[in-house]
Structure 1
Amino acid sequence: MVAYMDHKDLDNRQIGRERAMQIADGVKRVADRIAKAENSAGRKEGSVTLLAATKTRDVGEIMAAIDAGVRRIGENRPQEVTAKAQGLLELCRDRKLALGTEAVDSDSSSAGVGFHLIGQLQSNKINKILPYVDTVESVDGSPLARKLATRALAAGGTMGILLEVNESGEQAKSGCAPDQALDLAYELAAMEGIQLKGLMTVGAHVDDEAIIRSGFAHLRGLRDHIRDSGEPGTDTCTMLSMGMTGDMEYAVAEGSTEVRVGTAIFGPRAFI
């Protein structure tokens, strides 16, 4: 694989019919997996939202997923947000869809496409994403949260956030420690300029179902505790972003409200 930013036009807006059909088929397969997992878990159909993870995918590919029914996308890198935002905004408007911050400001939530940042955010990149992204899922500490809140207030808005929790304890993964999550969530929920919408985690990188599910179950317990605490700003802490291509069924069984899926929709990535 090679560095994609130098070798792929992320603002490309035209893809072939065959590629568009491949992506549409991917969306359908994932939607069917989610529906089956909901049914197996005894959950209401539609209780889990599909977020299409769009790292290295160009505007045309992302729009093919949106045309197939995806209503939430997630980028890993701020530079990809800025590279694709204008094209996505224009093509969404052509379809009478509001994207990201435009969707938040829209009167009709049914005509909106959520635009999330799901990868790490450095404070010097906040201004790059602020005009477009409606939710940052990777907030793992109060310094970043305070800077996000300050910039959002200065821009006259509020940024949705998820608190990322490292449930697996793996050093390579981001997120706050589980034993710090409650106090941190209460601190973030009380900040003006951001809205704590829920929690996010990446499942343990193991083959043991019990270990993977225990992390998801613990995150659900944290979410419930925060949401029901009565602390200021915690009543909006409802989302559980957990589950990806390889473990989404486990996540849905443990209460996930959003699964983040890329490869199963778009196919293997050709770039880093």
Structure 2
Amino acid sequence: MSLEEKVAQVKANIAAAAREVGRDPSEITLVAATKVQTSDTIRQAIAAGITVCGENRVQEMTAHLDDNAYAGAALHFIGHLQTNKVRQVVGRVDLIESVGSEHLLDAIEAQAAKLDLVQDILLEVNIGGEASKSGIAPEELLSLAQKAVSCPHVHLRGLMAIPPVAEGPQGNRPFFARMHQLFVDIRQKMADNEVNIDCLSMGMSGDYQDAVREGATLVRVGTALFGPRPPMQHT
């Protein structure tokens, strides 16, 4: 299959999963996870109908920005963001999806204040309680969300999660369902603040249809669009 066909196929799968549960397919945005892809491939994906690209690594993202590879699409940062790389990301991406600590939130607020802009963010929740993953525990979410809303240079748009590797088909649906419940709760609790919490980013190549069935508004898909990633080059 060509890249165009793969993009069309994933979008069709998203639409079918949405309709299955009575959702409007237009509520869900496909984020192409472009880790290790070339600038040319990113341009081809945008030409094939991708409207949002998601980058995991600051160095790759910066090189692609220098190439103007993302022209015509929005750009999200979806990987683990170290505080020492914040200045390379704030103001250069439309959304930072992976804010998983107060320390990182403070760094983003400080950099956005320096640049006199407001940075859209999602809070990353470690929904599976995995030691190997970043993100905050569900019980810490409300206090971090309240802090984010009080930051003048940060705009809280919603939540993101990377659940554990699924065991069998539909293995991640309970995690997705729990994330959706947290999303609904946080929207209700933040309703008195004039915020626009409308993003729930969850689901990847192996489980994005289940994520859509459970309420995702953003799905981050790489392998299903671009094929298996080549091994990382260690220089």
Does TM, scored on the shorter chain, surpass 0.5?
A: yes
8 A Cα contact 1:190 1:232, kept in partner: no
Alignment correspondent of 2:213: 253
Distance 1:64 1:271 in 2: 21
Task: List runs of 5+ in structure 1 lacking aligned partners.
Answer: 1-20, 98-112
Say if 2:60 is the partner of 1:63.
Answer: no
| C-alpha contact (below 8 Å) 1:206/1:212 kept by paired residues | yes
Q: Secondary structure at the match of 2:25?
A: coil
1:124 Cα deviation (Å)?
1.2
Matched, 1:181 2:161: no
Aligned residues: percent identity? 38
Q: Measure how far apart 1:233 and its partner are.
A: 4.3
Cα distance change, pair 194–131 in 1 and its aligned pair in 2 (3 A): closer
Provide the secondary structure at the position in 1 that maps to 2:120: strand
Match of 1:120 in 2: 80
Residue 212 of structure 1, CA deviation: 1.4
Q: Per the alignment, do residues 145 and 138 of structure 1 end up closer, same or farther by CA in structure 2, a change over 3 Å counting? A: same
**TM-score under structure 1 length normalisation:** 0.81
Partner amino acid, structure 1, of 2:219: V
CA separation of 1:55/1:233 partners in 2, compared to 1, >3 Å: closer, same or farther? farther
Alignment correspondent of 2:231: 271
Are residue 130 (structure 1) and residue 110 (structure 2) matched?
A: no
Kindly tell me: are residues 32 and 231 of structure 1, through their superposed partners in 2, closer, same or farther at Cα, counting changes over 3 Å? closer
Corresponding residue of 1:87: 67
Cα deviation for residue 45 of structure 1 reads 2.2
* Pairing 1:77–2:77 present: no
The alignment covers a number of residue pairs equal to 232
Q: What aligned pairs does 1:92-107 form with structure 2 within 5 A after superposition? A: 92=71, 97=72
Cα deviation, residue 207, structure 1: 1.8
The 1-side partners of 2:64 and 2:193 are apart by 32
Moved over 2 A (4+): 208-211, 230-235
Q: CA deviation at 1:231?
A: 5.7
- Counterpart CA distance in 1 for 2:166 and 2:194 is 32
1:140 aligns to what? 100
State the partner residue of 1:105. Answer: none
Q: RMSD between aligned alpha carbons?
A: 1.7
Query: Relative to structure 1, is the Cα distance of residues 210 and 271 closer, same or farther in structure 2, using a 3 angstrom cutoff?
Result: closer
Alignment of 1:193-212 (within 5 A): 193-208=153-168, 211-212=171-172
Aligned equivalents of 2:197, 2:37: Cα separation in 1 = 30
Q: CA deviation at 1:208?
A: 4.7
Which residue pairs with 2:129 in the alignment?
169
Counterpart AA for 1:74:
G
Partner of 1:32: 12
Aligned counterparts of 1:23 and 1:88: Cα–Cα separation in 2: 20
In structure 2, distance between residues paired with 1:74 and 1:233: 28
What is the letter of the counterpart of residue 36 of structure 2? T
CA distance in 1, matches of 2:231, 2:11: 25
Contact 2:78–2:98 under 8 Å retained in 1: yes
Deviation at 1:171, TM superposition (A): 1.7
Deviation at 1:81, TM superposition (A): 1.2
Q: Secondary structure at the match of 1:55?
A: coil
Aligned residue among 46, 51, 58 for 2:31 = 51
Query: Helix, strand or coil for the counterpart of 1:243?
Result: coil
* Residue type of the alignment partner of 1:182: L
Unaligned runs of 5+ in 2: none
